[in-house]
């Protein structure tokens, strides 16, 4: 049995139903780092993988709040503090009905390696709740955030654990959470990132993940000697923070992003997405994409119900580059087949683990350049760390400075991933390059710090 097979077997004994996505994330990493485990026995001697797949702690708590009809509502809150070998725990909070321990373990595990890849001093964590912000009033969101932070504040701090946003958690929620933390602890400190700019947030944090994914893609296409994105048709899924800003950056560099999607359907606008309208509908008014079709009748709206099972309309539209920016496992093998048949050259994961393992294998076997999430969407956490830095030194950086440092960091991550892949005999495989480079840094710190 190889070392990788032994590691996977050990984990199978602990597997539970909710852990499906966590297992998926972990299995990919183990297979990627197999050459490193075989060539350097110290990682097995110090039981690094055995230690890395178990979070330092999982905090699970009840969140009780009063809705606008004065009915008592109960949700579950979590914080998975996974690993702090490289710095304070760092990672987003997700508010979505599908949140459970397994989802947060997958996201927290990915976050360890992503944060390691940035080269910045941050560990890995994730948290959130099964609370669904959809259809809730501002006051209900505020009351939920207040109840959530009343419990969470005990476990976080600027040198301990610094949460940020993710699905369902943007500037509005971070501001409410910050307000409650400040009130309970009587401190004004950088305990959350993604705060609105006027009270301590970094400029460009909202844009960072989407812009960063485009910067990474430009760098990868250059290294792989493919044509740049300028003038090329791109498809993007999602219509939230990441998707909207990926679309905005694509438009700025002269590409033509023609799609976006939400949980109800897809917009195909062959002239290029009207990003200001998209922002207004989804980020400001929190409406459905059907509103986009009402304002632009020449754009096509494809409801989710009109598309076959296991496939998604976005990936069936001919494109040069694809950007899955909505959620996990949204790009299946069937979708990958459609992309390949339509001549797609590059896929960049803006969301966390949006492609199934079968889709990744198929894309890579057809030489589609594939940028994995933990490298390509690191821009968000990179600017979060810039926000921590600015808060700690009581300074503010200009938009230009943040943008320049973000671009430089994304280029460095891309080069490091490409070089690592080459060093380990898998040139062009950005999945293996990212996993090996991310793992090595954390693993070496864990060895140095002892058990
Ligand atoms: P938002 O909440 O802003 O947007 C999420 C988007 O995805 C919405 O359009 C939503 O549709 C859609 N979506 C969510 N769940 C589903 C689902 N089950 N099926 C179909 N569509 C769905 O989140 P973000 O843009 O912040 O996050 C998107 C992805 O990017 C996530 O994977 C997140 O983990 C990842 N990410 C986010 C970062 C950040 O800085 N925010 C950083 C790095 C990664 P609808 O509007 O209908 O709900
Ligand atoms: O998945 C992610 O990297 C995020 N949701 C952002 C984490 C952060 O701390 O900014």
Q: What is the DSSP letter of 32?
A: H
Ligand 1 mutation pick, 171, 201, 242, 386, max ligand atoms within 8 A of CB? 242
Distance 210 CA to ligand 1 centre (A): 11
Please report the pLDDT score of residue 307 as a whole number.
Answer: 84
- The answer on 103 and 15 residing in a single domain is no
Task: Determine the pLDDT at residue 9.
Answer: 76
List the CATH number of the domain containing 97: 3.40.50.10860
Q: Would you state the pLDDT for residue 3?
A: 80
pLDDT of residue 14: 60
Q: Is the pLDDT of residue 16 over 80?
A: no
Local confidence band at 12 (pLDDT 50, 70, 90 cut-offs): low
Tell me if 156 is assigned to some domain.
yes
Expressed in angstroms and rounded, the spacing between residue 197 Cα and the centre of ligand 2 is 17
72-83/124-129 β-pairing? antiparallel
Shared domain check, 176 and 101:
yes
Does residue 78 form part of some domain?
yes
pLDDT score, position 18: 81
Question: 133-169, pLDDT tens digit by residue?
Answer: 999 999 999 999 999 999 999 999 999 999 999 999 9
3-state secondary structure of 265: strand
Q: What stretches of 134-231 show up as alpha helix (H) in DSSP?
A: 138-152, 171-185, 205-223
Give tens-digit pLDDT for 291-327: 999 999 999 999 999 987 778 999 999 999 999 999 9
Q: Report the nearest-CA residue for atom 4 of ligand 2.
A: 92
- Please check whether residues 239 and 310 belong to one and the same domain: yes
Best of 262, 264, 284 to mutate for ligand 1, by most ligand atoms within 8 A of CB?
262
> What's the pLDDT at 1?
81
Q: Do the domain assignments include residue 415?
A: no
- Band (13; pLDDT cuts 50, 70, 90): low
Any ligand 1 atom below 6 A from CB of 242: yes
The percentage of the chain sitting over the pLDDT mark of 70, rounded to a whole number, equals 99
Q: What CATH number is attached to the domain comprising 302?
A: 3.40.50.720
Integer Cα distance of 306 and 304 in angstroms? 5
Q: Looking at the CA of 164, which ligand is closest?
A: 2
Q: Which of 418, 423, 417 is nearest to 437 (CA)?
A: 417
Whether 222 and 368 share a structural domain: yes
Residue 79 pLDDT:
98
Same-domain check for residues 95 and 128: yes
Question: What is the layout of strands, in order, in the sheet containing 233-237?
Answer: 256-257, 233-237, 321-324, 346-348, 369-371
What pLDDT is recorded for position 43? 98
User: Which of 188, 217, 252 is the last residue before a domain boundary?
Assistant: 188
Residue 63 has pLDDT above 90, yes or no: yes
Q: Which two tokens stand for residue 259?
A: 């799609």
Task: Kindly state whether residues 231 and 318 are assigned to the same domain.
Answer: yes
Q: Are 123 and 257 members of one domain?
A: no
Residue 274 beta carbon below 6 angstroms from any ligand 2 atom: no
Closest ligand by atom to 373 CA: 1
Examine residue 410 and state whether it is found in any structural domain, yes or no: no
Residue 90 inside a domain? The answer is: yes
Please state the rounded mean pLDDT for residues 400-420. Answer: 98
Position 441 in a domain: no
Average pLDDT over residues 4-26: 80
Q: For all residues of the chain together, what is the average pLDDT?
A: 96
Say whether pLDDT at 19 is over 80: yes
Decide: 91 in ligand 2 pocket, CB within 6 A: yes
Tell me if 81 CB under 6 Å of ligand 1.
no
Q: How many residues does the chain have?
A: 451
Residue 182, pLDDT > 70, answer yes
| 9 catalytically annotated | no
Higher per-residue confidence, 437 vs 1: 437
Mean pLDDT of 324-331: 98
Residues 87 and 231 in one domain: no
Please name the residues in contact with 396: beta carbons below 8 A apart, sequence gap of 6 or more: 203, 390
Same domain, 156 and 226: no
Is the same domain home to 48 and 65?
no
Specify if 387 maps to a domain: no
222 and 329, same domain (yes or no) = yes
Q: Does the structure show a pLDDT above 80 at 17?
A: no
- Structural domain includes residue 105: yes
| Long-range residue pairs from 135-139, CB within 8 A, at least 24 positions apart, any chain | 136/67, 137/68, 138/172, 139/68
Annotated catalytic residue: which of 126, 136, 249, 407? 126
User: What is the distance between the alpha carbons of residues 364 and 346, in angstroms, rounded to a whole number?
Assistant: 10
241-289: pLDDT as tens digits: 999 999 999 999 999 999 999 999 999 999 999 999 999 999 999 999 9
Residues 422-441 have a mean pLDDT of 98
**What distance in Å separates the CA atoms of residue 58 and residue 208, rounded to the nearest whole number?**
28
Residues 38-62: tens digit of each pLDDT: 999 999 999 999 999 999 999 999 9
Q: Are residues 14 and 69 in the same domain?
A: no
Q: How many domains does the chain have?
A: 3
pLDDT one-digit tens code per residue, 220-251: 999 999 999 999 999 999 999 999 999 999 99
The answer, yes or no, to whether residue 106 has pLDDT greater than 80, is yes
Domain span including residue 13 = 3-52
Which of 348, 376, 404 is the last residue in one of the domains?
A: 376
């Amino acid at each position: 049995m190889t070392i990788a097979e032994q590691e996977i077997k050990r984990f199978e004994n602990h597997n539970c139903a909710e852990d499906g996505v966590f297992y998926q994330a972990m299995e990919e990493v183990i297979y990627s780092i197999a050459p490193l485990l075989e060539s350097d026995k110290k990682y097995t001697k110090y039981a690094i993988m055995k230690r890395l797949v178990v979070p330092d702690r999982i905090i699970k708590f009840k969140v009780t709040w009063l809705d606008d009809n004065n009915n008592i509502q109960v949700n579950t809150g979590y914080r998975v503090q996974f690993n702090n070998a490289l710095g304070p725990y760092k990672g987003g909070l997700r508010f979505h009905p599908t949140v459970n321990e397994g989802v947060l373990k997958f996201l927290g595990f990915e976050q360890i390696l992503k944060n390691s890849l940035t080269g910045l001093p941050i560990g890995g964590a994730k948290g959130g709740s099964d609370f669904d912000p959809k259809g809730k009033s501002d006051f209900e969101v505020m009351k939920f955030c207040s109840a959530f932070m009343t419990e969470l504040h005990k476990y976080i701090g600027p040198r301990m654990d610094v949460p940020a946003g993710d699905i369902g958690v943007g500037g509005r929620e971070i501001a409410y959470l910050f307000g409650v933390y400040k009130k309970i602890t009587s401190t004004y400190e950088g305990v959350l990132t993604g705060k609105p700019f006027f009270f301590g947030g970094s400029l460009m944090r909202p844009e960072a993940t989407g812009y960063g994914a485009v910067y990474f893609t430009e760098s990868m296409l250059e290294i792989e000697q493919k044509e740049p994105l300028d003038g090329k048709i791109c498809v993007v899924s999602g219509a939230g923070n990441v998707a909207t800003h990926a679309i905005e950056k694509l438009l700025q560099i002269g590409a033509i992003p023609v799609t976006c999607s939400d949980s109800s359907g897809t917009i195909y606008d062959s002239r290029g997405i009207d990003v200001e309208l998209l922002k207004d509908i989804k980020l400001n008014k929190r409406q459905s994409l059907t509103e986009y079709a009402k304002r632009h009748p020449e754009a096509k709206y494809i409801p989710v119900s009109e598309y076959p099972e296991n496939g998604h309309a976005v990936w069936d539209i001919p494109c040069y580059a694809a950007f899955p920016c909505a959620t996990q496992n949204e790009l299946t093998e069937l979708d990958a087949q459609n992309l390949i048949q339509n001549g797609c050259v590059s896929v960049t994961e803006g969301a966390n683990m949006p492609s199934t393992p079968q889709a990744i294998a198929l894309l890579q076997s057809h030489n589609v350049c594939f940028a994995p999430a933990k490298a390509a969407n690191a821009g968000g956490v990179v600017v979060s760390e810039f926000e921590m830095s600015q808060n700690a030194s009581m300074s503010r950086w200009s938009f230009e400075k943040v943008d320049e440092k973000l671009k430089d960091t994304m280029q460095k991550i891309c080069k490091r991933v490409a070089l690592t892949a080459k060093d380990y005999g898998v040139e062009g495989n950005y999945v293996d390059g990212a996993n090996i480079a991310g793992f090595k840094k954390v693993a070496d710190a864990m060895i140095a710090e002892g058990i």
